[in-house]
C-alpha cells in the first residue's frame, strides 16, 4: 500500500510517499511560499532532486503540483494518483476530541474547525490540506494524526493548571502537550531496543529541536509532558521562553507598551537561546560563539542544559523512577556536548555513559550507557512522517 504523508503549514507543505510493504520512502519534498509570490516545489524522487518554480495560489494548487510531480514521467515514482491508497495528515491540535489517529469524516472536520481557536496558526492549514486532497483525489481515505493525541492519557491532576476549574470547563484551558507523534515513535522504539514490553518500563523522552519538549512515558502511555496549552511552555527553546512567571506578562506589556501580538512575538520569536545569547537560535552557531568566548552564548547553553535536566528530574519523581531516557530531534540526536553535560549531571541516577559511543556521529541510533548502567540512555532518531504513515496504514487496513 502506498501512503502519502502531508504536513501542511500556513504557506508551506512537506510530503513523503511511503511504500508500506517495506516502509521505504519513494519520494519526498516540500512546497514553500504557497499563496505568496515566488512559490516553489523541491522534489526528491528517483535519486535526483529538482526544483520547480511556479505560482501556487493555495494548498489545492500546491497539492495538485505535488501529485503531478509524483506521476511525472521523468521525475515521478508512480503512474497515476489512484496508486495512493491513503493520505495521512499531520494535525497539530486535536483538543480533547481525539486520543488517537482517526479517519477524517465530516464530524472530524467539524471538531477540527472547533479546535481552530486552540491552534489558530496551525489547524487552518491542516484543514486546507485535507480539503485539497479531497479536491484532487476524491474518495481516497484521509487520516488525521494529531500532535496532541499521544498525551491524551495524562491524568487530570497532571493536565490541569491551578486556575479556577470553571475556566477549564468554559474554555478547555489545560495542558495538551505536543510532539506526540515523536514521543510515541521513540518511546515505542526504545521498548523494542530494550527488548521489554512497553508496559514494564518508564521512559523519559527528550525531543530537543527548535521546539523542545520532554515527556514522561509510563508503561507505554504519556503521563506528563512539558509543553502545555500551547507549545510555549516547558523547557527554554530556540526562540521560545519556556516556563516563566505569568505575572511577568502584564508587567512587560505595560513597561514595554506591547499589545497582545507584540507580546506573543516577544515570547515566541525573540526569546529562548536566541534571546539570551543574542547570537542565534541554532545551537551550532551558539556553541561556536560560546567556544570563542561569548559569555552570553555560554550562559544560554548552560540554561538550556539546566532546564532540560530539571524536567528530566521532575519526571523521575512523577513516575517514581525511570528505566530509560531517550534523546531525539535535531539537538537531541546530534549535540554530543549537550548530551554529555546533561548525563554527567545526572550521574547520581546511576547513569554511566560511554563517551566514545556518545561522540560517534556515524551511529545514528544507539545506546549511550555502559552495560550495567542503572538507567539506560538512548539516542533514537525521530521519524514523525513514518509514525503518521504507520497510523494511517493501520486505520485504512482496518476499513477493508
Ligand atoms: P524542528 O523543531 O524545526 O524540527 P530540528 O529537530 O530539526 O528542529 O532541530 C533543529 C535544531 O537542531 C537546531 O537548533 C540545530 O542547531 C540543532 N542541530 C542540528 N544539528 C546539530 C549538531 N550537529 N549539533 C548541535 N545542534 C544541532
pLDDT of res. 47: 84
Task: Mention the CATH class of domain 2-146.
Answer: alpha beta
Q: Interhelix angle for 295-318 vs 283-291, to 10°?
A: 120
Show the ligand 1 pocket: residues with CB < 6 angstroms.
209-211, 238, 282-284, 329-331, 334-335
For a pLDDT cut of 70, what percent of the chain falls above it? Answer: 100
- How far is 350 from 333, CA to CA, in rounded Å? 22
- How far is 91 from 101, CA to CA, in rounded Å? 10
Q: Is 147 part of the annotated catalytic residue set?
A: yes
* CATH code for the domain defined by 191-384: 3.30.420.40
**How far away, in angstroms, is 238 Cα from ligand 1 center?**
9
Counting ligand 1 atoms within 8 A of each CB, the residue from 237, 283, 364 with the most, and so the one to mutate, is 283
**Which residues of the chain are in CATH 3.30.420.40 domains?**
2-146, 191-384
pLDDT tens digits along 119-135: 888 888 999 999 999 99
pLDDT (mean) for 62-80: 94
End-to-end CA distance of the chain: 12
Residue nearest (by alpha carbon) to ligand 1 atom 25: 335
* Per-residue pLDDT band at 51 (split at 50, 70, 90): very high
Higher pLDDT, 9 or 223: 223
- How far is 256 from 259, CA to CA, in rounded Å? 9
Spot the catalytic one: 97, 147, 224, 391.
Answer: 147
Mean pLDDT of the residues in the chain? 96
Residue 384: what are its φ and ψ, rounded to 5°? Answer: -65, -35
- How far is 146 from 68, CA to CA, in rounded Å? 27
Nearest-atom index, ligand 1, CA of 287 = 25
pLDDT tens digits along 90-121: 999 999 999 999 999 999 999 999 989 888 88
Nearest-atom index, ligand 1, CA of 210 = 2
Counting ligand 1 atoms within 8 A of each CB, the residue from 331, 335, 340 with the most, and so the one to mutate, is 331
pLDDT of res. 48: 87
**How far away, in angstroms, is 339 Cα from ligand 1 center?**
13
- How far is 212 from 311, CA to CA, in rounded Å? 11
**How far away, in angstroms, is 152 Cα from ligand 1 center?**
27
- Look at residue 389 and give its three-state secondary structure: helix
**How far away, in angstroms, is 372 Cα from ligand 1 center?**
31
- How far is 352 from 190, CA to CA, in rounded Å? 18
Cα pseudo-dihedral 119, 215, 329, 209, rounded to 10: 60
- How far is 143 from 131, CA to CA, in rounded Å? 12
**How far away, in angstroms, is 21 Cα from ligand 1 center?**
31
- Angle (CA) 12-17-20 rounded to 5° is 145
Q: Could you say which DSSP state residue 353 is in?
A: B
* Per-residue pLDDT band at 236 (split at 50, 70, 90): very high
Distance of CA 135 to the CA centre of its chain: 28
Amino acid at each position: 500500500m502506498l501512503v502519502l504523508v502531508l504536513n501542511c503549514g500556513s504557506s508551506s507543505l512537506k510530503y513523503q510517499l511511503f511504500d508500506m510493504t517495506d516502509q521505504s520512502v519513494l519520494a519526498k519534498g516540500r512546497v514553500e511560499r504557497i499563496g505568496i509570490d515566488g512559490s516553489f516545489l523541491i522534489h526528491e524522487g528517483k535519486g535526483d532532486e529538482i526544483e520547480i518554480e511556479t505560482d501556487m495560489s493555495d494548498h489545492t494548487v500546491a497539492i495538485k503540483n505535488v501529485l503531478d510531480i509524483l506521476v511525472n514521467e521523468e521525475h515521478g515514482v508512480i503512474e497515476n494518483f489512484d496508486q495512493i491508497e491513503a493520505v495521512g495528515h499531520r494535525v497539530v491540535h486535536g483538543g480533547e476530541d481525539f486520543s488517537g489517529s482517526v479517519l477524517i469524516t465530516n464530524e472530524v472536520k467539524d471538531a477540527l474547525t472547533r479546535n481552530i481557536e486552540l491552534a489558530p496558526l496551525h489547524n487552518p492549514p491542516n484543514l486546507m490540506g485535507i480539503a485539497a486532497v479531497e479536491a484532487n483525489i476524491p474518495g481516497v481515505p484521509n487520516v488525521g494524526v494529531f500532535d496532541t493525541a499521544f498525551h491524551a492519557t495524562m491524568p487530570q491532576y497532571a493536565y490541569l493548571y491551578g486556575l479556577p476549574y470553571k475556566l477549564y470547563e468554559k474554555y478547555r484551558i489545560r495542558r495538551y502537550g505536543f510532539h506526540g507523534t515523536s514521543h510515541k515513535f521513540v518511546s515505542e522504539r526504545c521498548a523494542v531496543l530494550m527488548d521489554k514490553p512497553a508496559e514494564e518500563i518508564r521512559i523519559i523522552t527528550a525531543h530537543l529541536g527548535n521546539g523542545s519538549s520532554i515527556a514522561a512515558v509510563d508503561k507505554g502511555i504519556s503521563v506528563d509532558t512539558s509543553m502545555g496549552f500551547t507549545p510555549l511552555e516547558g523547557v527554554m527553546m530556540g526562540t521560545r521562553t519556556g516556563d516563566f512567571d505569568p505575572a511577568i506578562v502584564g508587567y512587560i506589556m505595560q513597561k514595554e507598551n506591547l499589545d497582545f501580538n507584540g507580546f506573543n512575538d516577544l515570547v515566541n520569536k525573540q526569546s529562548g537561546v536566541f534571546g539570551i545569547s543574542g547570537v542565534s537560535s541554532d545551537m551550532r552557531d551558539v556553541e561556536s560563539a560560546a567556544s570563542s568566548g561569548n559569555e552570553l552564548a555560554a550562559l544560554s547553553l548552560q540554561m538550556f542544559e539546566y532546564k532540560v535536566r530539571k524536567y528530566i528530574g521532575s519526571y523521575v519523581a512523577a513516575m517514581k523512577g525511570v528505566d530509560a531516557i531517550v534523546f531525539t530531534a535535531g539537538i537531541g540526536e546530534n549535540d554530543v556536548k549537550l548530551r554529555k553535560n546533561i548525563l554527567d549531571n545526572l550521574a547520581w541516577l546511576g547513569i554511566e555513559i560511554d563517551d566514545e559511543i556518545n561522540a560517534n556521529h556515524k551511529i545514528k541510533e544507539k545506546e549511550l550507557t555502559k552495560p550495567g548502567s542503572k538507567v539506560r540512555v538512548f539516542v533514537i532518531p525521530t521519524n514523525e512522517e513514518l509514525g503518521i504513515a504507520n497510523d494511517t496504514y493501520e486505520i485504512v487496513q482496518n476499513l477493508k
